[in-house]
Chains A and B, each alone.
Chain A
Amino acid sequence: MSAGRLLAAGIVVVILVLAAREHGLIGRSERPPPHPPTPARLAFEAESSAAEARAAAARRQAEAAQALAQAPEEESVLAEGPGRSETFGYCTACHNTALIRRSAFDRERWDELMDWMTEKHGMNPLEGELRQTIVDYLAAHYGPRQRGPRGGNPFLN
């Protein structure tokens, strides 16, 4: 083997060794071991992940409430009778029918409520025949009860 060849082979070996080190194939053990996390860092990480968990819980709660609000309702939850579809159509834009179904008012109170919804809550004014139909429906099916859950009112009657 000539001296020239030997030199070339030596250069190739050096290049290979350097390339291997460059790519971390040999000589790894020379790197310093990673620091163990300090208590402060552990506390910070725990607090950050707790904060993230809380933020996620807050998002989920908002989404759950919004999903409840979007739960579809069928017209048939309202009592059957003439005026039901008009009432369902006009009255569920803002809230669902729970507010209606829990109510027990005479016709005058229902009529008054239509103005309240317009004046205080921006409902399109309800006039004419449609108002008549809806108020009649409400008074017929969600009219006053004679008694509350625990009896009557001794000051009335």
Chain B
Amino acid sequence: MRSSHRTERSLDELYRDDPERADALVWRRRGVLKGAALAAMGAAVGGAIPFARNAPPGFVPSALAQGAAAQGPEYLQMEGKARLVLLGDRPLNAETPEHLLDDDVTPAPNFFIRNNGQVPDAAPNAMAWKIKVEGEVNTPLDLSIGDLQQRFEVVTRRLQIECGGNGRSFFVPQARGNQWSTGAIANSEWTGVRLRDVLRAAGLKDSAKFTGHHGSDLHLSGNGEAISRGMRIEKALDEDTLIAFRMNGQPIPQIHGAPARLVVPGWPGSLSQKWFNRIELKAQPHAGRGMGGTSYRVPTAPIVPGSRNDGATFRDLENMPVRSILTNIAHGTRLPAGTRRIEVRGQAWAGDDTVRADDVSVDFGATWTAMTVNPPPNSHSWQRWRGAVALPSDGYFEIW
């Protein structure tokens, strides 16, 4: 339909195959888009780019980046799950497109999927599922979910679970691990008992400084545990760290760790052990699979991106960084011609911390509009932000 159809294809393809050359073609030496190059880029993204002069040199428009994967995304098809973007099926990993994160409480179908190993069979009797507490405690415990419900206060909180690698695909050079965009986050309503109440019932010794978590999922090779991570005792004693047995008022879905899982909000999701059946209290940091090295860890001093490193000077990733997503307008949305004002909203969160401000730009970061940010309904919940932005004309815009 558009006369520029052929240009569009070829530039799109060029970006996919040889972004370097595409840039050389499209961007002038000082990186300012103008003339024929601007027209070509506009054709490629399907509309004029009113704020092109603000775009950083070498910048690839989101509309092209979306199509950059060799053959577009694959989608998960599974009963009880939404159309998540499938990252791999052995191990099964899938992320949630941002526009499916618009609910304040993430529905079970929209919850992202991260597995390190094999998905175990469903437990025949959830109430009889046992959880052991052992190690540096005075009285080791072995409690069923029924026992937990009877002995401890049952609480319900909205809590974030975010994969430690959320946003990883934006790193250059590429970082190892699942190439999440920003959809490895969920904020469901969790019901369970506080881990700290259970640990206190077991009687923590002074030597109990760290935890080690265990679940029933097997490693991909079939040998041993899929993953076993641990944290400082301070986080285990946080009031929002739960042994959860319900999600959004229902039993936890199998794929999300039924019948019981840890919920360690604001810290890497790998601590929120699925199919949770044992916690060790330790004097030294845990040494399970997924501890040490470079995984789930960050440098303590800057390093050259992509350089070799054994992680000896790394520390464990704890409090997750601040992040904000737009949830009411999907990537690639076409608005009616003449639209000059759009309502925008999304979610923002910051690990253990609270978000105070959120700003949006539609001119590649040259100017920013303040949004209103709701306080979280409880600590460790994400926060709703909303507002409106003005568009000066029709054309291609990115909402930053």
Interface residues of A (CB under 8 A from B): 54-55, 57-62, 64-66, 68-71, 93-96, 98-99, 102-106, 108-109, 112-113, 116, 120-123, 144-153, 155-156
Contact = CB atoms under 8 A, between A and B. Distances in A.
B330 to A, nearest CB: 17
Contacts of B263: none
B120 interface: yes
Nearest to B87: A98
B60 A54 contact: no
B305 interface: yes
A146 B374 CA distance: 40
Contact of B253 (A58, A122, A146): A58
A126 B43 CA distance: 49
Interface stretch (B132-140, B173-181, B348-356): B173-181
Given A147-B60, A147-B172, A149-B60, A58 B118 contact: no
A8 to B, nearest CB: 63
Interface string B28-62: 00000000000000000000000000001011101
Given A94-B221, A95-B90, A99-B88, A65 B174 contact: no
Given A62-B119, A69-B90, A98-B87, A121 B78 contact: no
A65 B19 contact: no
B223 interface: yes
A57 B305 CA distance: 45
Contact of B221 (A65, A93, A150): A93
Nearest to A64: B78
Contacts of B304: 156
Contacts of A99: 88
A112 B308 contact: yes
B323 interface: no
B65 interface: yes
26 contacts: A57-B80, A57-B253, A57-B254, A59-B254, A60-B79, A61-B122, A62-B120, A62-B121, A62-B122, A65-B78, A65-B254, A69-B91, A94-B221, A95-B220, A102-B87, A102-B178, A105-B174, A105-B176, A120-B293, A122-B221, A123-B221, A145-B19, A147-B172, A150-B65, A151-B58, A152-B58
A99 to B, nearest CB: 6
A96 B90 CA distance: 6
B131 interface: no
B122 A144 contact: no
A19 to B, nearest CB: 48
B218 to A, nearest CB: 11
Contacts of B297: none
Contact of B219 (A71, A108, A121, A152): A121
A98 B89 contact: yes
A122 B65 contact: no
A109 B306 contact: yes
Interface in B112-156: 115, 118-122, 124
A40 to B, nearest CB: 20
A66 B119 contact: yes
Contacts of B306: 106, 109, 144, 156
A60 B255 CA distance: 10
Contacts of A116: 293
A108 to B, nearest CB: 7
Interface string B243-283: 00000001101110010000000000000000000000000
Contacts of B14: none
A150 B60 contact: yes
Nearest to B310: A112
